[in-house]
Structure formats: structure tokens, C-alpha cells
Chains A and B, each alone.
Chain A
Amino acid sequence: MPDATPDDRYEQFVAFFTRNEPGLRSFVRSLVPSWDDADEVMQNTGLVLWRKFSDFTLENDPQTDFFRWACVVARFEVLAWRRDKARDRHIFDEDLVGMLAEDAMREEKSLAAERKALEVCLAKLSDKQRKIVMAAYEPGVRLNRVAETLGKSATAFYKMLNRTRKSLLDCIESVSGDLRAEGGAQ
């Protein structure tokens, strides 16, 4: 878009980035072992995307293409991060990073539908369950500290968390199917 002003470009970037950020973050989180690592990679990815946004050319579907392009950048950032960290502990290798990147790009539509369905499914949890889950996902908290705050043993807390994830995923699967069906009927 050669005629766009810098302000237009910025707004466009914000729109694309905001829309694709959750999917991108989900992809990054699948590749790195903690939220801190994911945040670090996302921060670098965001910077690179903005710097290189002028190179980004729109082809058929700008939404899909931005996501694909961002995934390529994020994958590169994960590999860069990996080189720094792999000495300390086991981190997924390059082959798996590539495979997950392919899958994430292919599955993004259905994953986006699943993120939307989460809201409905969370409402189906008991108040207590929901509060505990929300406490566990507060950015920056450590899970074993949350367990301690709630007076639970870490093991009991993890078990509960894993069970809740499972029931949310089951719910999401059926709800997101319904959402897509509704979308198709419109």
C-alpha cells in the first residue's frame, strides 16, 4: 500500500495484530515451556512484525496472510530464543517447531472458534471452579503459590486444574461446533 500514510499503516497494523495476537500467542505457547518464555518471544515477535510491516504485502486474504506471515516470524523468534536457552533444559527441537507451525496455520480458524466458545463454557463451571481457574491464569502468578494461597496442596491443585482443562476442552468442542454451524447458516 504505497499511498498509505504512516498513521494509516500504524492503524492497519494495530487492527491486524490485535485480531491475530491470540492465535499467534497460542502458537508460541505451544513451543515454549512457560508463560514467561512465551511473553518474551511474543514481545520480540511484535517488534519484528512492526519493523517489517512495510515489507508485508497483501495477497488474497489479508487476515489469513497476516497470520501466516506472523507465524513465520514467530517461528523464527522461537528458534532464536531456543538457541539461547536450549543449553539449560530440554526444549522442543526445530523439526517439531516446524510441524506445530504448519498445524497452527492450518487449524487457526477452528482454534479461533474455540477461543470464542471458551466464554460460554466458562460460564458453565461452578463459581468456585471458575474463580480458582481465573486465579491460576493471572499473568505472572506461580501455580504452586496460588495453590498455597487457596490452602491446597500443589498436587491437588494441579489435578483440579488438569480436570478443569479437560472438561472445558470437551465443552468447547461441542460449543464451537455449534457456533460454526450457526455461522454457516447465516
Chain B
Amino acid sequence: MSEAEFFELANRWLNGQCSDEESAALEKILKENSKFRRAFLRLTNLEVGLRDLGSGTEEVAAVPFAKTSQWSKTAVIGWAVAALIGVAAIVMSSLDPNDLNTEDDFAGIDETEEGDHPVAVLSKLAEAVWSESSQHSPAEGGAIGTGVIALESGLVQIDFFGGASVSLSGPAELELVSHESAILHAGVLTADVPPAARGFEVRTGEIFLEDLGTRFGLSAVSDSEAELYVFDGEVRATGVSGDSILVAGGEGMELKNGKAIPQDSTKTEKYPQISKVYEGAGSEERDRYSNWREASLELRQDPRLIAYYDFENLSAQTRRLKNRAQIDKASELDGGIVGARMAEGRWAGKTALDFRGEGDRVRFAIPGEWNAVTLFAWVRIDALDRHLSSLFLTDFFDPNEFHWQISSKGALHFATSPEGVIDIPKHNRRFYSDIFWNPKMSGRWFFLATTVDCETNAVQHYINGEPVGFSGGTNREKPLTHFQIGKADLGNWSDPIWPEAAIRTLNGRIDEFAIFQEALIAEEIRKLYVIGKP
């Protein structure tokens, strides 16, 4: 054992974190090595010094688990000696009366850097219904900050940044405290704790649990009552009295008013299993996917379509993105996949294209002229790390062509000019939507749509089916004449106007894209969102 390993182990022992095995290992090494024995005595000696000084400071607010002082239990004969020990403590603490700035409140210490920062990821949802009191109602894949999540029904899986994974079964209320701790206010959970996350803590009422390895189920009954089942490994449960018990794998315990009562250890079915979360999520996902597929088949027949790409049944070898719109010579409008890779779409089993590298794109040549256009796409934005990230851009920027993209600030952006690149500041009509994205939403699927109508001179952006306003732009009131596309890219920009500012590759995925020759109305956009949302 190295000195550093020994020091780590000795510290764990002092902190009361050692499992029985660790404590036995410490015993062994102390017997064998006199140098470590001396180091150990120096460490406990330091503990005594610190504790004597510590007793001179003011109390830390809110320590409900504090054990009442031993002295209160002192027997009649013992009072004199107890008083003496008290005297000794005072003598020690008087060594250092000024250095401790005890007037400062601990609340003033700026240690709240975890504040609103996320501490976990919601990795899976299965028929989950959030309760109104839930402080967070994250989407799948979304990060969750500290605070309470309240589930009315269904199952969710929460992966803590510290490495522990918790399956929660509604109705339940779980408060996320940090990367490695949580409070179960109500309901039932199962925690899965890999070695790197050992020490993961869950509190329920007055009962404190520390996972010393692998997996346990916990059910909150009341403030002083809980049921615990350890599937595997070891859990330390500490009651309000400060007494701890170790519960080993295969053991069930009823923890009640500070006592642990062994329970029938076969009743484990109430604890949610991660596999069930996935099964549940799977069936729900399959339903949504097949509903969308039906609607998608119908959509193909919409006569207003210029082109429609459902990104279905792609393989790693696929180089042609099929136009599914049921129009004459539909395959003329098939896209050519360049660089972009096949990836998972909104649902398990649905395919998408992943855009990342400088060259990734789908090439199109779409002839025609229209007085109105609707564009929609399901997009997973991983990052907005370009000044502008491409959705659908015509090559160069010839008169009446348009560029549909996302700004680095997180706004959907539509631009067109009747003059093309001639005197751009004067003629370019630019429409930035309200900001809808920030990096916390990385990895989430969005339904983005824009409708443009030259007759009414109206441009409308939609985010997830809802119309949104503008956060900026230029020449927005100037008339629009008509539109054309010609050669164009999805997810990139070929033949840019300024070669030095060329890279606008999307960093994310697309798994559905359509162009219509009419401006769809708000209700149609909303329906498309509802049927397609993951």
C-alpha cells in the first residue's frame, strides 16, 4: 500500500466511511507497518486538536441528525469527571480565541457554486406524468438541476453526474441535492451505484443511507420510517440517533423510529427496475413512432408539397435521401448524402442523418418558382458553435433564393433578397426568431418551421408547433417577390458568398424535412408537431 493509499484509507476510517473490509485492511496494514502506525496516531492526534478547537465555534445551522451530547447521559457519580473533560476542552479552545472569526455566518460562505447547475440527466422516461409541484419536468436526455422532481405516475431513470443511476416510480418526490446525493420525500426508488459512485447518499425523512456498493431499493413511508432492500453490495443506514447499521445484499429492513426490523426479503417487486423503465419507454416509444409513421404516409399525399424527406430506413451505405412527396418525377428531387452519417432519430429504430464535419451535407437540385413557402424540419441541435448553423441553404445567395439557419445565439433565421448579393445591407430581408435554444438543450429534438408568403408579405417562425416573435432582423417590412431554390444543401452551405466565413455545418441531426409551396396555417403546424414529437 502506498502512502497516499494509506492516507486515503485512514481518512475514510476517521470520517466513518469505511466498510468492514476496508477497516480490516487498515487493521492489517497498521499491524505490519510501524511508520503507518505513527502516521495514524498523528492523524487522530490532529483530530483531537481540531475537535477541541471546533467546540469553541458557533453552531452550524440546521444539523437535524446531530446526536445529543453524551454528557447529558452522564451518571450521577460521573458529573464531576464530565465537568473536568469540559474544562479540558475549554482550556484547549482558549488557545485560539481570535483566529476563528466566529461572528461570520456559515451561510455567508460562497460555496453554492452548484446552485442552478445541473447535477443529473434524465436518461429515460416511461409513461411519465409530472406533477404540477415538480420544479423540473425535463425531457428525455435533458439535464436536471438541484431541486424537487415530482412524478405523478410512470417511471423515470435519472443518471446522477456522480455515476449513480436512480429509477423512480411515480407517485414519488425526489429532491436532487448534488452530483451524489438526493432526498426521497415520497415514493419508491431503486439506486444502482457503480464503484466510481460509491458513497452515493439518499436521505428519507430522518434516515440517511450511504451506498457502499451496487444496488438498493428504498421506499419512503414517513419521516421516521422507510423500507430498504439491498439487492447487492452493502448500504449503511443511519437513524436520527446517529446509530448506523450495515445492511448487506439480499437483506430487507424496515427502518422505523431508529430501529431496524428485518423483513421478508422476497418482497422486492415494488422497487422499479431499470429494465422496466426501458421496456415501458420502449412500448410508449413504439406507439409514438408508429403513429407518426401513419401520419407521415398521409403527408406524402399533400398536393402542396414541393418535396418531403422522411429519413426512414437509412443504412450506413445509403447515399440517396428519398423524396417521398407523391408528385411527378419525385425521384428527381432525391437528395445526395455527402459525409453525413446514419444515426438514431427521434425514436429507437427511426433513422436520421448526423451532421458534424465540415463537408457533411445533403445535396439537392429543386427547380421552380413559388409565391409562398413552408419549411419544416425535426432537428436535434447538439451545439451552435458556428456564427450561423445551416438548416437549408441555397448555393451562394442569388436573387429570391433563401437561407434557413440558426444563429449562434439560438434564434431561427430566415433570409432572402430580391437582389441577391447586390448591396446586401440595403436589400437583404432577415428575420431572426425569438431565442429558443441554449446549450442546456443540447441533444434535444426540436420541431422548427417557417412559413413565408409574398402576397401578405408575412414571415412566421414556429418552435415546437408554437408561433414565436422576432428578436431582430433587417428590411423586414420590405416586399417579398417570389422564391426559388435550385441547388441547395441541407445542413451546410455550398458555394458561400464569403469563402473565409464559409463553415456553417450543422452540429446535430435531422430526421424529417419538408418544403411546401404554400404557407401552412398555425393549426397545421401545431398538428405536425403533436404527431411528430418524440
Contact = CB atoms under 8 A, between A and B. Distances in A.
Interface of A: 14, 17-18, 21-23, 25-27, 29-30, 33-36, 39-40, 42-43, 46-47, 49-50, 88-93, 95-96, 99-100, 103-104, 107, 111, 114-115, 118-119, 122-123, 127-128, 130-146, 148-156, 158, 161-162, 165-166, 168-169, 172
Tell me whether chain A's interface is mostly helix, strand or loop, or mixed: helix
25 contacts: A18-B87, A30-B40, A36-B67, A36-B70, A46-B82, A47-B77, A93-B27, A100-B30, A103-B38, A103-B41, A131-B104, A132-B109, A133-B54, A135-B60, A135-B106, A137-B53, A140-B63, A142-B238, A142-B242, A148-B177, A150-B109, A152-B114, A153-B162, A154-B180, A161-B11
B54 A137 contact: yes
Given A103-B34, A119-B95, A142-B238, A114 B46 contact: yes
A151 B16 contact: no
Interface in B154-195: 162, 177-181
Contact of A145 (B38, B57, B65, B70): B65
A79 to B, nearest CB: 15
B278 interface: no
A127 B49 contact: no
B46 A143 contact: no
A137 B93 CA distance: 12
A47 B79 CA distance: 9
Most buried by A among B16, B44, B179: B44
B52 A155 contact: no
A93 B28 CA distance: 10
Interface of B: 7-8, 11-13, 15-18, 20-21, 23-24, 27, 30-31, 34, 37-38, 40-55, 57, 59-70, 74, 77-78, 80-82, 84-85, 87-88, 91-92, 95-96, 99-101, 104, 106, 109-112, 114-115, 162, 177-181, 199, 201, 208, 210, 238, 242, 245-246
A131 B109 contact: yes
B60 A149 contact: yes
Contacts of A143: 15-16
Contact of A99 (B21, B31, B88, B180): B31
Nearest to B48: A26
A153 B177 CA distance: 8
A39 B52 CA distance: 13
Nearest to B110: A128
Closest 6 CB pairs of A and B: A137-B54, A153-B178, A46-B81, A90-B20, A30-B44, A118-B49
